[in-house]
Amino acid sequence: MAVTDEAILRIKEMIVSGELRPGDRLPREADLADRLGLSRNSLREAVKALSLIRVLDVRQGDGTYVTSLRADELLEALSFVVDLHHDDTVLEVLEVRRILEPAATALAATLISDEEIGTLYELCDKASTVDTVEHLVDNDMEFHRRIAEASGNAYLARLLDSLSGPTARARIWRGITQAKAASRTVAEHRAIADALAARQPDVARAWSTVHVAGVEQWLRQFTE
C-alpha cells in the first residue's frame, strides 16, 4: 500500500473510533506523524488529499480540522478509498478497457475527421488548465468518448462508454494521490491525438494501451 493511502486509512480509523469527531482539530503535524509512525511528508500528502474530498479543512495559520459533516457523511466520503483496496471489480473493468479501447483507437485512426481531431486537441489544451482533479477526469472521459465514437462502431462506442463510469472514482483518486498523474494524462492524450492525426493505427493503439494500462497498474498495487 502506498504511504499516502496508509496515512489516509490511519486518519480514517481515528474518525471511525470516535477519537476524531466532526469539528475537531488534528494534533500538530509533527506529533500526529510520530504517533502514526509516518513521515511528515506522507501525512502532509494525506491531509491534502482528504481536504480535496472535504473530509478535512485546512485553515491557513490556524490548523487542520475534521469538517463539520456528520460522522456518516465523513465515512461515506472516505468509503471510495476503502473500495479501491477491497473491490476487484474496478480492476476487472480496467482490464476490459485495456483490451477494447486500443482496438477502438486503432479503428479511429483510419476514420476520424480533421474536425474531430481538432476537438481532441482542444480537449488536450483544456486539460492543461483545469483547476480540479474532478474536472480533469471529466475531460479525460470526454476525450475517450470522442475517440470511441470516431471508431465508426456504435456498439463498441456504447460498450466503452458503459465501462468508463465505474472507473471514474479510481481515476480521481489516482489524480489526487499520485505525483504527476495529471501531467502524464495530458501528455498521453496528446500522443494519442498526434497518432490519430498522422493516421497511424498501430501507434495510436500502442499509446492507448499505455494510457489505460497506467491506471490499471497503479490500482493493481492495492489488490495484490
User: Which percentage of the chain shows pLDDT scores above 70?
Assistant: 82
The candidate with the shortest Cα–Cα distance to 123, out of 189, 38, 27, is 189
Summarize pLDDT for 147-171 with one digit per residue, the tens. 999 999 999 999 998 888 767 767 7
Residue 147 and residue 205: Cα distance in Å, rounded? 12
Higher pLDDT, 186 or 219: 186
- Measured torsion, CA atoms of residues 19, 20, 26, 28, in degrees rounded to the nearest 10: 10
- Per-chain mean pLDDT for the chain: 83
- What pLDDT sits at residue 181? 80
Mean predicted confidence (pLDDT) in 44-72: 77
The type of residue at 111 is L
- What pLDDT sits at residue 182? 83
Residue 103 and residue 159: Cα distance in Å, rounded? 13
User: Which percentage of the chain shows pLDDT scores above 90?
Assistant: 37
Highest mean pLDDT out of 40-44, 61-65, 205-209: 205-209
- What pLDDT sits at residue 103? 97
Q: Please state the CATH superfamily assignment of the domain spanning residues 88-223 in this structure.
A: GntR ligand-binding domain-like (1.20.120.530)
Q: Is the confidence at residue 175, as pLDDT, over 50?
A: yes
Q: What is the DSSP letter of 21?
A: -
What are the angstrom distances between the C-alpha of 182 and each of 45, 60, 162, 178, 207? 16, 25, 23, 9, 16
As a CATH number, domain 3-84 is 1.10.10.10
Summarize pLDDT for 80-127 with one digit per residue, the tens. 555 545 556 777 888 899 999 999 999 999 999 999 999 999 999 999
Using a 10 angstrom Cβ sphere, with 0-12 exposed, 13-18 middle and 19 or more buried, the burial of residue 18 is: exposed
Q: Is the confidence at residue 203, as pLDDT, over 80?
A: yes
Domain ranges of the chain: 3-84, 88-223
Q: If you search the block for the grid coordinates 471489480, which residue do you land on? A: 89
- For residues 109 and 199, the answer to whether their CB atoms sit within 8 Å is yes
- What pLDDT sits at residue 115? 97
- What pLDDT sits at residue 23? 84
Residues in the chain: 224
- What pLDDT sits at residue 55? 76
Summarize pLDDT for 28-47 with one digit per residue, the tens. 888 888 888 888 888 887 78
Grid cell of 9 as nine digits: 486509512
Q: Is the confidence at residue 1, as pLDDT, over 50?
A: no
3-state secondary structure of 178: coil
- For residues 223 and 85, the answer to whether their CB atoms sit within 8 Å is yes
Mean predicted confidence (pLDDT) in 73-85: 54
Q: Which helix (H) or strand (E) holds 123?
A: helix 114-127
